[in-house]
Structure 1
Amino acid sequence: MKILVVGSGGREHALVWKLAQSPHQPAIYCAPGNPGIAALATCVPIQADDVEQLAKFAKEERIDLTVVGPEVALAKGIVDLFEQQDLLIFGPRKAGAQIESSKSWAKQLMLDAGVPTAAYRVFTDLAQARDFILKETPPVVLKADGLAAGKGVVVAQSTEEALSALDDMMANQVFGQAGAQVVVEQYLTGPEATLLAFVDGTDYVLMVPAQDHKPVFDDNKGPNTGGMGTYSPVPDMTDDVIKQVETTIVQPILQELKQRGIHYKGVLYTGLMLTADGPYVIEFNARFGDPETQVVLPRLKTDLVDICLSIAQSPYEDQDVDQDQNTVQDQEKGTGNPKTPRLSELKIEWFDNAAVCVVITAAGYPGNYKKGDMIAGLAAVETARTVVFHAGTAWQDGAIVTNGGRVLGVTGFGETLQQAREQAYAAVHSIEFAGMHYRTDIGKKAMERSK
């Protein structure tokens, strides 16, 4: 079996790491990959947004299954393109990916589905947006409508900060066309949490919850990032809360997608604020989270290959599929995946342990940052209770160097959050590169609450 993973970050390293543990013993390719991924897979020099070349490679290499990591490929319609060429792929089509690629579309979807979310207004005119903000009492939340690599959200504590963020998005175009339209939201308070779900268009299975830390500095200070660390399980996400999220958010949103004729397959990421009035949706994503994947997948006991195959092979509602066929795709087209059980028939199990991931960034992130600094200490920290997921690294003169804002995600495992946290930080302290930065409080509050 041949599997292609699309992407080059810590999420994709975690996906490759988990897929490589499958009893199917797949040969894994990753485009474009990174030095950490290269230890487990063959890296292919094709960028994640070059969907035409990715399809060509998958066709020529007779790839049996493609798993998409980043949102940019989904937003460009990689799933639609692959399916048109009879290539098996895991992820939602372009229509479903709008749940992440357009904040305003997602907010309207939530409104129509009756899903609890913050009150909001959408603006395409800078002057109208400024007038609205001047009348609002801070704090307020501003979101660039399009994809902004997880950095297009500003929680403005003052009117001045809100106006400055608005100018950056709409006038200065710091997020490009993603900021041409801006969503201004009501500020919500409470613990945050993330709940991912496997979805095959008909059925869904919830994953174990995680909690991300977005601000760059300790105590949730500083600008938002793509994620500074995460942990699982989440003490605030009790069985009762999870059930509430399932019945008031996940089920209604999937039903609304169906009513719009969108057969959603892949992963549904639900970002939550656990308010005093119950769980509210902060955002939806159309793929595995980053860095949530780095703590969720290590807790997955069931074979990820079987899950991805089951979802990718599940037929669309308008698709005529012979239920007696042995394979979903024609053997002559280069694939031979045995038909796997439907998602509802798979027994998806989880390890009863804890995982904590601490993200190490380059100095200056999420603003301008330096590349090319040599990273020391990586070999010494890989143990049975610690794994280092590469996010922004590269090879240079035989050494691994920094090549992005978020450089590494160090995940520790343990029976408890405290043990997992100790493992993660012990490894972080053994890694060195010039200007490295990380938060020192990942999972700290959760650990205290779990006691």
Structure 2
Amino acid sequence: MGSRHFLFISADAALITDLAWHVHSEGHDVKYYIEAESDQEIGDGFVPKTDDWKADVEWADVIIFDDIWVGSDIGTGELAQELREQGHAVVGGTPNTDHLEEDRGYAMEILEAHGVNTVEHHVFHDFDAGITHVQEHPNPYVIKPLGEVQNVKRLLYVGNEDDGSDVIDVLKAYKKAWGHRMKGFQLQRKVEGVEVAICGFFDGEQFIDQVNFNFEHKKLFPGNIGPSTGEMGTSMFWAGRNKLFEETLGKLEDWLAAEGYVGSIDLNCIVNETGIYPLEFTPRFGYPTIALQEESFESPTGQFFFDLAHGADPDLTVHRGYQIAVRIVLPPFPFDDEKAYDENSRNAAVVFETDSRDGIHIEDAKHVDGQWRVAGENGMPLVVTGKGETMQDAREQAYERVDTIVIPNCYYRDDIGERWIAGDGDRLQSWGYLGPAER
């Protein structure tokens, strides 16, 4: 494939910088639009920018949206749908698929309507009603905020007490602190097992054959403790349409085709010996999942997304071993503290001890006068990846690369991938979820 024109759109925060940089490095013409003023320096020196994406629609061969949000509201699905109706090739959602992430109750309704088992769940728009439910039905629950505030990841709370007393205490605290912003919340019965996300790429009509299985590490500190973050790292592998896929995303194939969805869609689940229990959708790219997926592509990334957007049955070749990604962060991540950020992180230099940039992916970074520097206000400059025949091989490569990077005050988790080695992989295998699906 010759050079194509790719228009990347961040209608809110800048998230897709690395994919834009990667496609640009393959020789394609790229323009990148960032709406959030605080993020507009992200990607400078790495990716050509535009300040008016609508003026570049006719220029683009492919238009790629990075998220569902337009400011504080969902809306990129509506934009993507309108552009498709005008004849443009778009990677992005629809109003209904945006709704899967924004409204967890709706997501469960869609799953149930298509024969996917779900865990017990209840949506509340009143804190007192949720508290009463837990008092009357004592169990451990997970609190999942609805709407825009769910992006404040530390508000997700996983209960520990069998009688739900800690969930009641947290709901009372949220009522006081966040009642003015939370449009509602879902209470989901806590299920023990292995947490795994099934991720497929959909071309508007069907899923491609390669299915991605990834394991998120959301807590800030090693050992899965501390505050929840968007993500501190990911481990993954690729496989075919096995039982995990066929009993979850596979059952939604016709629905997604009717929607005309194009792009990545991820369903996070808890799996144990008794069944598969979906938790939540990510009907868009995951971060830093997409950076790790890029690293595992063994065929051209630009060609893949061009074919995906045009419904041209993409032929994707991927690394067949294991992969991990480590997010490197800076103070005050995952919290907001402008003074701490100014003192410790703003415009900080990123120093490499080797000439190699293999496995290095950018998030909140810029390239100025030959120097990589931290950009934006979030304190997430880099993702470092590794791959290998085993999960341990992937870990060793990734952390060897991390050791060659110097950013004052940075921190990261050093245990990404260990859960798989410690037994998650064996459990999934013994429960029969990783082999070929029965047809």
Both proteins in one fold, TM over 0.5 = yes
Pair 1:167–1:311, CA change in 2 (3 A): farther
Matched, 1:213 2:217: yes
Counterpart amino acid of 1:133? V
**Percent identity for Structure 1 against Structure 2:** 19
Query: Which of 143, 163, 170 does residue 168 from structure 2 map onto?
Result: 163
**TM-score, normalised relative to structure 2:** 0.80
Query: Which of 339, 343, 354 does residue 322 from structure 2 map onto?
Result: 354
* Inter-partner Cα distance in structure 2 for 1:11 and 1:245: 28
**What are the superposed Cα offsets for residues 329-357 of structure 1, whole Å, 9 maximum, x if unpaired?**
xxxxxxxxxxxxx32xx432212343221
What SS class does the counterpart of residue 287 from structure 2 fall into? coil
* Inter-partner Cα distance in structure 2 for 1:424 and 1:378: 17
Query: Which of 348, 360, 363 does residue 388 from structure 1 map onto?
Result: 360
Q: Is the 8 A contact 1:210 1:295 kept in 2?
A: no
Pair 1:89–1:247, CA change in 2 (3 A): same
Q: How does 1:184-195 map to 2 (within 5 A)?
A: 184-195=187-198
* Inter-partner Cα distance in structure 2 for 1:417 and 1:10: 30
CA shift at 1:191, angstroms? 1.8
CA shift at 1:169, angstroms? 4.9
Counterpart amino acid of 2:215? Q
CA shift at 1:216, angstroms? 1.4
Counterpart in the other structure of 1:172 = 177
Q: Is the 8 A contact 1:144 1:169 kept in 2?
A: no
* Inter-partner Cα distance in structure 1 for 2:336 and 2:355: 30
* Inter-partner Cα distance in structure 1 for 2:276 and 2:47: 39
Pair 1:298–1:400, CA change in 2 (3 A): same
Q: How does 1:181-330 map to 2 (within 5 A)?
A: 181-205=184-208, 206-233=210-237, 243-257=242-256, 262-314=259-311
Give ranges in structure 2 of 5+ residues lacking alignment: 427-439
Counterpart in the other structure of 1:444 = 418
- Aligned pair count reads 401
Counterpart in the other structure of 2:29 = 27
Measured on the aligned residues, the alpha-carbon RMSD in Å equals 3.1
What SS class does the counterpart of residue 208 from structure 1 fall into? strand
Matched, 1:112 2:113: yes
* Inter-partner Cα distance in structure 1 for 2:302 and 2:229: 30
**What are the superposed Cα offsets for residues 305-351 of structure 1, whole Å, 9 maximum, x if unpaired?**
3332333234xxxxxxxxxxxxxxxxxxxxxxxxxxx32xx432212
**What are the superposed Cα offsets for residues 146-195 of structure 1, whole Å, 9 maximum, x if unpaired?**
24336152212244542344346555337x75x21211001012222222
Counterpart in the other structure of 1:426 = 400
**TM-score, normalised relative to structure 1:** 0.78
CA shift at 1:34, angstroms? 7.0
* Inter-partner Cα distance in structure 2 for 1:56 and 1:434: 40
CA shift at 1:249, angstroms? 1.0
Higher mean displacement: 199-208 or 362-371? 362-371
What SS class does the counterpart of residue 226 from structure 1 fall into? strand
* Inter-partner Cα distance in structure 2 for 1:150 and 1:419: 34
Q: Is the 8 A contact 2:198 2:245 kept in 1?
A: no
Matched, 1:42 2:15: no
What SS class does the counterpart of residue 259 from structure 2 fall into? coil
Pair 1:283–1:40, CA change in 2 (3 A): same
Counterpart amino acid of 2:260? H
Q: Is the 8 A contact 1:82 1:89 kept in 2?
A: yes
Counterpart in the other structure of 2:75 = 75
Give ranges in structure 1 of 5+ residues lacking alignment: 46-52, 315-341
Q: Is the 8 A contact 1:299 1:351 kept in 2?
A: yes
